[in-house]
Amino acid sequence: MAPRIPPSAADLVRQTEEALQAAKKSLRFDDAHPLRILHLEDSELDCELVQLNIEANLPWAVDICCAETEEDFTRLLAEFRPHLILSDYALPGFDGLRAFEVAQQSDPIRPFIIVTGAMGEEVAVDTLRRGVTDYILKQSLDRLGPSIRRALAEREARIRRELAEQAVRELNVSLQQRLEEVERLRGLAEAQSQRLEAQARQLEEALQLQKTFLAETSHELRTPLTALLGYLRRSERENGPSQTLSDAQRVAENMTRLVNDLLQLSRGELVQGIEMHFVDIARLVSQVGRDYEIEVHAVPPQIEIVGDPGRLTQVFVNLISNAIRVSGSRDLVHLDADTHGPWVRIRVVDRGPGVPDAIKPRIFDKFYRGKEAGSAGLGLTIAQQVVHAHGGTIEVLDTPGGGATFQVNLPLPEEDEDEDPQWLSGSAAPA
């Protein structure tokens, strides 16, 4: 359940002002809303004298109702709902103090004035001590009008004071609730912050473990690969060159380069060592397709670009091995290439599950290990860095009918380019 929102200080002030205005309005008397006075008196003559005095000395319209017995008094309290009560002190079977106690039960702040013929000083003090508003002797009725005005003014002041005190109490409660809510939210924020810090530490530890694993694995693989290359080269010197030895040596060199790339990326470094030459990209693509025993479709007989053949081979080896792994069969993967304007486009097409749109923006991120990415989370990152170093782009598209297509776009040499461009010395192609 949503927490209760405490009222603001402005809301409490507004509510208090509305209550004060309502209280003031209830004490504004006119012909339509006269001052209602209930007079408890068993003498009809005294009741008339009091009424005449009030009408002559008060500025408001007045409605006076007389009661002679306790039963009439109790009934008229509920029916007449007087603003003020006048009462004789001594009545047959009833008295002013008892009437005061009955009136207090329905409205404890309603003015109650005793109008009596005689009252001793001790009795008068006792009535005031019990809460009676005032007492007036019948022979001094000229005091009655001012006493009524003063009693009504005191009632209004008391209402204002009590409303203000109530507003202060409610404001204190509201502030306390808001402080408790602030503390609750602060606790939630601290708990969330601690969880995020713990997750960040875990992520950092996981990345560090991954980097450590890659670095150690790379170091462990470099030694046997270096030895393997040495054996292949010695075998070639002793037995003469052959296609099998050349292919094995080329694969070993590609593996060595991949291990070095893994080591560099585990340290947060970019792929380095790009050596540019004129290379027949059509022949290179066909060679990689033959090595992995996949079909090569519609590749022109010769497409010459400027690039690093070893690095480009590494790109297509990564893309093809990923495609075979994801689709589950070599028969579901093929290569094709064509030229489009100043670009050569090489596509590795598979009929596997494809790459969801939500994955595509992240698939080339380092250490991304989705099903569609390389198993170590670095193969596609390396491929992208190598392609960018050649001034090209790489993108993943949907294969019509299902699957994924990784398209590599590489720039073709300009026709008026010098035979020996200055940037063939080993640096990357210009941006």
193-243 tens-digit pLDDT: 999 999 999 988 887 787 777 777 776 777 787 788 787 888 888 888 888
Please compute, for residue 3, the number of CA atoms within 13 A of its CA located in the half-sphere on the CB side. 10
Please give the full DSSP string across 313-342, using - where no structure is assigned. HHHHHHHHHHHHHHHS-GGGEEEEEEEETT
In this structure, what token pair is assigned to residue 30? 């006119």
Closest CA to 365 of 384, 350, 349, 346: 384
Write the DSSP symbol of residue 429.
P
**296-311 residue pLDDT tens:** 887 788 889 999 998 8
- pLDDT at site 316: 92
Task: Indicate if the pLDDT at residue 391 is higher than 50.
Answer: yes
Q: What is the mean pLDDT of residues 93-122?
A: 89
Task: Indicate if the pLDDT at residue 19 is higher than 50.
Answer: yes
Question: What is the CB neighbour count within 10 angstroms for residue 315?
Answer: 29
Fold of the 9-169 domain: Rossmann fold (3.40.50)
Q: What is the mean pLDDT of residues 148-160?
A: 90
Fold of the 274-425 domain: Heat Shock Protein 90 (3.30.565)
- pLDDT at site 35: 92
Q: What is the mean pLDDT of residues 272-283?
A: 85
Q: Is the dihedral of CA 20, 22, 26, 28 positive or negative?
A: positive
- pLDDT at site 88: 92
Task: Indicate if the pLDDT at residue 249 is higher than 60.
Answer: yes
Per domain, the residue ranges of the chain are 9-169, 274-425
Task: Indicate if the pLDDT at residue 270 is higher than 90.
Answer: no
How many angstroms separate the CA atoms of 167 and 328, rounded? Answer: 75
- Residue 421 pLDDT grade (very low, low, confident, very high; cuts 50, 70, 90): very low
Task: Indicate if the pLDDT at residue 12 is higher than 80.
Answer: no
- Least confident piece of the model among 108-117, 259-268, 286-295: 259-268
How many angstroms separate the CA atoms of 281 and 304, rounded? Answer: 6
E strands of 133-257, at which residues?
Answer: 134-137
Q: Tell me the whole-structure pTM to 2 decimals.
A: 0.44
- Least confident piece of the model among 69-73, 218-222, 379-383: 218-222
The distance of Cα 424 from the centroid of its chain, to the nearest Å, equals 54
- Residue 423 pLDDT grade (very low, low, confident, very high; cuts 50, 70, 90): very low
In 3-state terms, what secondary structure has residue 66? strand
**321-334 residue pLDDT tens:** 889 888 889 999 99
Task: Indicate if the pLDDT at residue 81 is higher than 90.
Answer: yes
Closest CA to 428 of 263, 307, 279: 307
- pLDDT at site 416: 54
- Phi, psi (rounded to 5 degrees) for 304: -95, 130
- pLDDT at site 111: 94
Q: What is the mean pLDDT of residues 98-105?
A: 92
Average pLDDT value for the chain: 82
